[in-house]
Structure 1
Amino acid sequence: MTPALRPALALLLIALGWSLSWAGPPPDASTERRAAHLVRTDSKQMVTLYAARILIDSVTPEGIRVWVSDKEFEWVRSRGWDIRFISPTAEDYWPEEETKAEKGLTYPLTTYPTFDEITAALEDFASTYPSLCRLVSIGKSVQNRDLWFLKITDNPDLEEDEPEFKYISTMHGNETLGVILCLNLIHDLLAGHGTDPRLTSLVDETEIWIMPLMNPDGYSRSPRSRFNSQGIDLNRNFPDRVEDDANDPTGRAPEVRAVMNFCAVHSFVLSANFHTGALVVNYPYDNSEFAHIQNHPDWYTPDNDVFVDASLAYSSNNPPMYASPYFTNGITNGIAWYTLVGGMQDWNYVWMGCNEVTIEVSDIFSPSTSALG
């Protein structure tokens, strides 16, 4: 087993036991948002950004990472704040067409697979281990790519009395490392069944569902895009207990609709979604009508102790995360980090009764391939 998978398995094991008004920038839906770094000033700055509906995806003492259109960028700069666009890195681009021929994958992975390679790998798992897994497409992306889930358990065609667990990765197409982690984990679970006692126990006693790639359209672009093909941030498109409390998939992005409909017919008890851009485990809530009141009780779910334990189960097995200079023991309540509207983890908890955490596995969106494996 590769060391990178130990935190994932530690978290998986737990499944066995249990509005402000402000004059903001003009609407700019026609222009794609790009990542930008904003130097922090004072607490009023965050209030202004929230009120103006600026998309925030990370906050540290050094700065705030935002996703802004050109008009939003100029609006932020007009306030006298220091902001600059973040240029894509070489790893955010796919190789030239003639050099990226599809090929069989070798584990642990040392390169980012294309969507077609991911599909082929999942199909290969399903055909190689027919007694342990089933490949299911839960829907299609905007550009008609399959949204794949792989079910792993010892009796994949039977409905057994065992906990259901899921991993979802890369709902932001530019956050690629989770694809690698998921495929490596799938390989280890299947190849290790019958020989590794812990892996065998996980597969035999849990119904495990893994979706390596929720945003195949954004992932397949070059440079890769955070957003789906409609320009929608999938992690801002779910029902929200404060601002969008209708648990209805109608009118949402097709990728979000597919996940909502899929979860509605399952009984997941624990789940996690993989991101990059930070190194931390983030647990609910991400939003509250009292978000502006420091450490308000409504920031925390009734199951806060469970979330803290689950988060620590992962971070304590990831030494760089656990030693974070920003987050105590590498974990944080969502609102304590920054407020997020329409996130998947809050939706899972509020409407599906599933304890979900968000795992940020790298400060870099797409780490160099030399760091994989």
Structure 2
Amino acid sequence: MRPRPRGAGARTRRVTLLAALGALTLAAPLTATAPAAAGGARPGGPAAGEIGRYEIHRTATPATRAALRRTGVTVDEADRESVVVSGRPGQIRSLRARGYDVTALGALPDRGAGTRAARPHDFPAADAKYHTYAEMNAEIARRLAAHPGILSRRVIGKSAEGRDIVALKVSDHVATDENEPEVLLTFHQHAREHLTVEMALYLLRELVDGYGTDPRITRIVDSREIWILPDLNPDGGAYDIATGSYRSWRKNRQPNSGSPYPGTDLNRNWGFHWGCCQGSSGSPSAETYRGSAPESAPEVKAVADFARSRVVGGRQQIRAGIDFHSYSELVMWPFGFTTSATAAGMTADDAAAFRAVGRRMAASNGYTPEQTSDLYVSDGSIDDYLWGTQRIFDFTFEMYPRSAAGGGFYPPGEVIERETARNRDAVLQLLETADCVYRAIGKEAQYCAPAPAHRS
């Protein structure tokens, strides 16, 4: 995650933070292939093939983070003196062989320990407020029954294991394809980032329940077509909690031919500058494995096909979007594959509009605004794809917490309402500005001519 500067005494505070993680988070190391021993995770490091979290004592420059990611690990958090990564023991041995000082972060007890036995395919007892895939669909069904005039559901594809990839449409005339700006909200590309599914359900609730009672939401629903794709990685999410404990699983679950390691990193599988720039891995064992080809993950192919289907009369109807992740509290925009703000396909005005809207949203939710490559170079991401091929102003929100101290990838269930509501105004801002993002830089007359009407 984003490097955070630290002053004198940083190392002392870092050690204190890591020592406190046992009481604050379930983040690491967590099994990727088998449940932990009864009553909690093992006291040592992860077993062969399992994913664990480690601290690397090395100054975290962009070059350092790039070098670490090339070994197949993910960079989860960094400051001036150390980096926290997720990876397999073989990858960690490789880092040590290259001279890195690596310390395994001690295994943490299950949040459900002491309250009830772990329930397969469910969240730990203390995190019961999180929704499983089945519970998410049940919640969606309740909203559909209550608001059939403004909410519809369609299946746009299947996951690798056959689960539905769902698109929800919110609009005042939901059965009609109106000439209104469309906005795409996507969630849960990475399995362990369960808070993003809660963000989808929160926004669905706010939009449909607020229609007709909240003037701001009513204006938005009356003038926009809003697409909510609440779970892009249902297989990975189900696998992450399949034992009743967390596994720190990131990828999807499709098999990789000739490899014992399943899964593709969905947010490295998009077909724009795919695999171009050392911002992903070609190894199936890596956490950032980009897949065998662009859109080789069925979940990515389904969403990309959906985005392409929204081209009507030669014009892309989706104008803007947000892809939700966790953690680090960031608002990011393209490009990720290059550090240049104005690479081919991104003019100075485009970049200025991204910055203006991103910074305004960050001012609302308290996140840090930056270009994606300021974090580290990544290729094959959804933001780069949606802008690079469809000219959709797509942003990434890295949600709560800011650091592992707040729970890392597994913040406690009691923060769900607070941290989803924290993004309400920022999302509504994007919905309001989607008709002409260039208005944010005062150039609507130049770029935002009225579109021809269409209705079906």
For Structure 1 versus Structure 2, the TM-score category normalised by the shorter chain is 0.7 to 0.9
Q: 333, 336, 360: which one pairs with 1:286?
A: 336
2:251 paired with 1:227: yes
Match of 2:351 in 1: 304
Percent identical among aligned pairs is 26
Query: What is the total number of aligned residue pairs between the two structures?
Result: 321
2:235 paired with 1:217: yes
8 Å Cα contact 1:33-1:67 kept in structure 2? yes
Match of 1:70 in 2: 89
How far off is 1:60 after superposition?
A: 3.8
CA 1:299–1:96: 2 relative to 1, 3 Å: farther
8 Å Cα contact 1:134-1:152 kept in structure 2? yes
Match of 1:133 in 2: 151
- Which structure 1 segments of 5+ residues have no match? 1-29, 102-108, 322-329
CA 1:99–1:351: 2 relative to 1, 3 Å: closer
**CA RMSD in angstroms, aligned pairs only:** 3.1
Structure 1 stretch 161-170 or stretch 36-45: which is displaced more? 36-45
2:403 paired with 1:353: no
Match of 2:193 in 1: 175
Structure 1 stretch 149-158 or stretch 224-233: which is displaced more? 224-233
**Separation in 1, partners of 2:271, 2:253:** 20
How far off is 1:167 after superposition?
A: 0.9
3-state SS, counterpart of residue 329 of structure 2: strand
Match of 1:40 in 2: 58
Q: Deviations over 1:232-279 (max 9, x none)?
A: 11111112326459xx98761111111111111113110111111211
8 Å Cα contact 1:145-1:217 kept in structure 2? yes
8 Å Cα contact 1:56-1:67 kept in structure 2? yes
How far off is 1:179 after superposition?
A: 1.3
TM-score by length of 2: 0.64
Q: How does 1:1-373 map to 2 (within 5 A)?
A: 31=49, 33-41=51-59, 43=61, 44-49=63-68, 51-52=70-71, 54-86=73-105, 87=107, 90=110, 96-97=118-119, 111-221=129-239, 222=241, 223-224=246-247, 225-230=249-254, 231-241=263-273, 243=275, 252-266=296-310, 267-288=317-338, 291=339, 297-298=342-343, 301-302=346-347, 303-319=350-366, 321=367, 330-363=368-401, 364-373=408-417
How far off is 1:69 after superposition?
A: 2.4
8 Å Cα contact 2:326-2:409 kept in structure 1? yes
**Separation in 2, partners of 1:253, 1:233:** 9
How far off is 1:370 after superposition?
A: 1.9
Amino acid at match of 1:143: E
Amino acid at match of 1:153: S
**Separation in 1, partners of 2:109, 2:308:** 38
**Separation in 1, partners of 2:169, 2:293:** 23
8 Å Cα contact 1:59-1:338 kept in structure 2? no
How far off is 1:168 after superposition?
A: 0.7
**Separation in 2, partners of 1:39, 1:188:** 44
Q: Deviations over 1:162-192 (max 9, x none)?
A: 1110111111111111211211111111111
**Separation in 2, partners of 1:38, 1:300:** 37
Match of 1:6 in 2: none
Q: Deviations over 1:104-144 (max 9, x none)?
A: xxxxx981011101011112212211110111111111221
- Which structure 2 segments of 5+ residues have no match? 1-47, 255-262, 278-291, 311-316, 402-407, 418-456
Match of 1:18 in 2: none
How far off is 1:88 after superposition?
A: 6.5
3-state SS, counterpart of residue 175 of structure 1: coil
Q: Deviations over 1:292-325 (max 9, x none)?
A: xxx6753993211111122123211123x2xxxx
